[in-house]
Amino acid sequence: MLFRVALRTRSFLTRRLPVYRCASTTPSTTHIGSDVQTRKDDDMLETIDIEDLPRAQKRFAKQFEKVNEERVKEIFAKNYKNHIALAVLSCLVVGIYYYTIYAVKQETFLEEIDEEMAAEHPKTHGHLHVAEK
């Protein structure tokens, strides 16, 4: 017997059993003012206990749970590796930034240019002091 079942698996952290859900046939009620409206909501899924299912579906649920656990572990491992890569790249960027600030001292570089200009053109750049060596 084949039927469409949406399978919701257990949460990785809470260690709950997987839960089968299928489209609910029970009508839902909504209260609007004093009127009570009853409608069938196909989007809502009914919770089904896994122990009440036939043996083949239990086996399928266990197999699906195992595959899902492996997938979640892979996602956590990939997420961890991505965080490590982010930390390494951030350290590299900060290191390059500080090395650039340390290696290229803008003030010293400009002072050397000012001294050269004062030595070459004392009339136009006389206000710049030539460093005595």
- Which residue did the predictor score with more confidence, 37 or 103? 103
Please report, in angstroms and rounded to a whole number, the separation of the first and last CA atoms in the chain. 98
Please report the DSSP string for 70-120 in residue order: HHHHHHHHHHHHHHHHHHHHHHHHHHHHHHHHHH--HHHHHHHHHHHHHHH
For the ranges 11-20, 29-38, 102-111, which has the lowest average pLDDT? Answer: 11-20
Q: Residue 46: how many CB atoms within 10 A of its CB?
A: 12
What's the pLDDT score for residue 51?
Answer: 85
Q: Which residue has the tokens 């009127």?
A: 35
C-alpha dist (Å) from residue 80 to 14, 70, 74: 20, 15, 10
* pTM metric for this prediction: 0.42
CA neighbor of 114 nearest in space, from 129, 133, 96: 129
Q: Could you report the per-residue pLDDT of 44-66, keeping only the tens digit for each? A: 777 777 888 899 999 998 899 99
Burial environment of residue 10 by CB neighbours within 10 A (0 to 12, 13 to 18, 19 or more): middle
